[in-house]
Amino acid sequence: MKVSYKVPATTANLGPGFDCLGMALPLYNIVTIEETVMPSTGIEVNVMNDVENSDILELDSIPEDKDNIVLKAVETLYNLVGQEANELKININTNIPIARGLGSSASVIVGGLMCANELLGFPADEDALLSVATEVEGHPDNVVPAVVGGVVMSSLEDDGSIVYRKLNWPEEWHITVCVPDFELATNVSRSVLPQMVSMEDAVFNSKRLAMLVNALDNKDEKLIKLALDDRLHQPYREKLIPGFKEIRNALKHEDNVLGTVISGAGPSLLIVSQKNNTELIRNTVTDIWKDFNINFEIKSLNIEKNGAKKVD
Ligand code: HSE
């Protein structure tokens, strides 16, 4: 038996929603798992993509051995239902830039779990899949929108369960993602964050997150310009993403731009605007990143409302 799932990219945090907000984006990885008939062939992992000569789809950083994250996810689910994962061929077709803050690892974890769950006869319901995916990924903000699509607030509760709700996203608002030509591993990007923050900064983020939810509900363009600010992670990550501060400040003065944030743990930048402003954004970002010798790809996107889907 052979099963494939197509899973969207995601952008986490959206500024103030550190580790609890995420949104699915229309870029996709496909995970295929096949039960091989020959006994004792073990588990084989292959990572591939269809794009030649892409700087941002560099596959060398994805292990194909026991450290592969899809394999870990699949083994976790098999063990949970009291089985061992044996004789499997896992193919990962990547089209989401790797280590760029676009949820490529969450996407393949979710794809692997969906395939494994189907091969096992669907022992896990959505709640169980979200818990396992979060356990493997470490936080829920990418895996939940990868499973359910849309913009989602999610919380990992003390008992390991995940509580989530979908939020609104104004149809007219446009998303532009600038993907630089360097990787930033999530663990590196998390290592610069403080263990403790001041009450003032915690209150600042509470206010921004409340503003953001309200701005999304009411398509409030004035409010979202304030709401996308953050003091919990972006100020510490600025030093890992040269030019981020300059780009954000330059775009702040453009009428149609509603805000610029780090996508997930970075280094990609996500710009929300009132309409498609790709050319203006491209020119501004090019001007700033060329001073830092950074090349980038620009992607003009909309929200992906659907999560992981089976591929026939
Ligand atoms: N919320 C996470 C972070 C997303 O910012 O580190 C990265 O996977």
pLDDT confidence band for 61 (50 / 70 / 90): low
Q: Do residues 152 and 165 make contact, with C-beta atoms less than 8 angstroms apart?
A: yes
How far apart CA 14 and CA 154 sit, in angstroms, is: 13
Nearest Cα residue to 263 out of 287, 244, 239, 285: 244
Probe residue for ligand 1, chosen from 110, 144, 189, 261 as the CB with the greatest number of ligand atoms within 8 Å: 189
pLDDT at 56 over 60: no
Atom of ligand 1 nearest to the CA of 265: 5
Section 39-65 average pLDDT: 66
pLDDT at 55 over 60: no
Centre of ligand 1 from the C-alpha of residue 19, in Å: 6
Enumerate residues lining ligand 1, CB below 6 A. 12-13, 18-19, 139, 141-142, 186, 189-190, 233, 264-265
pLDDT at 248 over 90: yes
For residue 267, is the peptide bond before it cis, meaning its omega torsion is within 30 degrees of 0? Answer: yes
Centre of ligand 1 from the C-alpha of residue 165, in Å: 18
Atom of ligand 1 nearest to the CA of 193: 6
pLDDT confidence band for 88 (50 / 70 / 90): confident
Which pLDDT value is given to residue 65? 60
Residues whose CB falls within 8 Å of the CB of residue 168, separated by 6 or more in sequence, listed in order: 151, 216, 217
How far apart CA 6 and CA 276 sit, in angstroms, is: 26
Section 281-300 average pLDDT: 96
Section 231-258 average pLDDT: 95
Which tops the pLDDT comparison, 60 or 224?
224
Probe residue for ligand 1, chosen from 102, 107, 142 as the CB with the greatest number of ligand atoms within 8 Å: 142
Q: pLDDT above 70 covers what percent of the chain?
A: 93
pLDDT confidence band for 59 (50 / 70 / 90): low
Q: Do residues 90 and 112 make contact, with C-beta atoms less than 8 angstroms apart?
A: yes
For residue range 109-147, list pLDDT tens digits in order: 999 999 999 999 999 999 999 999 999 999 999 999 999
Atom 4 of ligand 1, nearest CA residue: 264
Judged by average pLDDT, the poorest of 6-10, 23-27, 72-76 is 72-76
Section 218-231 average pLDDT: 96
Centre of ligand 1 from the C-alpha of residue 150, in Å: 17
pLDDT at 69 over 80: yes
What's the predicted TM-score (pTM) here? 0.93
Section 15-44 average pLDDT: 88
Centre of ligand 1 from the C-alpha of residue 81, in Å: 29
Which pLDDT value is given to residue 85? 81
